[in-house]
Amino acid sequence: MKDKFFNYIQELQNTITSKLEVIDGKAKFQEDLWKRPEGGGGRTRVIENGNVFEKGGVNISGVHGKLPNSMQQYFGVKDADFFACGLSLVLHPKNPMIPTVHANWRYFEMYDQNGTIVDQWFGGGQDLTPYYLFEEDAKHFHLTCKTACDKHNPEFYPKYKVRCDEYFYNSHRNESRGIGGLFFDYCKKSEDMSMQNWYDFVTEVGNSFLEAYVPIVEKRKNSNYTKTQRNWQEIRRGRYVEFNLVHDKGTLFGLKTNGRIESILMSLPPHVQWVYDHHPEPGSEEEKLIKVLQQPKNWV
């Protein structure tokens, strides 16, 4: 399974980066191959200063070795080895009318001292962080997520949509990071689902990503915007940074397993503002967004 999924994310990375370069029309992804001293490595691809994408990364990694002590405590195990692989992407468009997007699809195995698999699971999801709320874009993104889920289980979309709203939540701000999508983790073998079933589901979601995001980019990339709207985008990016550095488990896992710091922090946008005690104008488009972030909606 680990070889099968690692091959899948390598192909998916190629598909996604090729499509994004075409959409941008100017910038190309810079590739870094890296090795982790304890075992494994990855292929980082970053795009910067394009016509459409101000900064973005589409990264894959496959790492293995002894599970660090901090993570052994987290999982409640002793002397375990692990293998983890995944694709993680974040795209920060230049135009504030285009939402930032994040996605991740991953697989994890844990072994005892004999090398026997004692646990394995899939995780992942995809979510949208707009700066200006276009309801048709939100509905399109969520409908694409739901369509992918419904092919495998009609209960998946409502369950993983709620989990996404719960996970990507800046509790210190009492607001969501964005308008959500899907979030699933610890997807393990059960009476209803084999690991092959989970593989089929996770790859279905991964394959739906471009369909969920690209039409929104194409629709908004030539929209006009003002300096004031750009400032709002940078203020909201600050909230994105806060979530990733304060709450995100993936960032924490990468830092605690001696991951590659440039790959872990590639999710951070290049231009951000923190304005003291900032509040949008009552009745404005900016306030409309905040109200939805404070009270998540059912989009489909």
Can you give the CATH number for the domain in which 117 is found?
A: 3.40.1500.10
- Report the alpha-carbon angle 259-262-266, nearest 5: 115
The Cβ-side half-sphere exposure at 267, using a 13 Å CA radius, reads 25
Amino acid at 193: M
Phi, psi of 229 (to 5 degrees): -70, -35
300 in any annotated domain: no
Tens-digit pLDDT profile for residues 11-39: 999 999 999 999 999 999 999 999 988 89
Per the structure, the count of domains in the chain is: 1
Listing DSSP states for 117-134 in one string gives EEEEEEEEEEEEE-SS--
Q: At what angle do helices 195-220 and 2-24 cross, to 10 degrees?
A: 10
| Catalytic pick among 102, 152, 247, 279 | 102
299 in any annotated domain: no
pLDDT at 254: 80
188 in any annotated domain: yes
164 in any annotated domain: yes
Q: Could you confirm whether 102 is annotated as catalytic?
A: yes
Structural domain of residue 67, as residue ranges? 2-294
The residues, any chain, with a CB within 8 Å of residue 171's CB and separated by 6 or more, are 247
pLDDT tens for the 300 residues of the chain, in order: 999 999 999 999 999 999 999 999 999 999 999 998 889 999 999 999 999 999 999 999 999 998 877 777 777 778 889 999 999 999 999 999 999 999 999 999 999 888 889 899 999 999 999 999 999 999 999 999 999 999 999 999 999 999 999 999 999 999 999 999 999 999 999 999 999 999 999 999 999 999 999 999 999 999 999 999 999 999 999 999 999 999 998 888 788 777 788 888 888 999 999 999 999 999 999 999 999 999 999 999
Sign (positive/negative) of CA torsion 181, 186, 188, 192?
Answer: negative
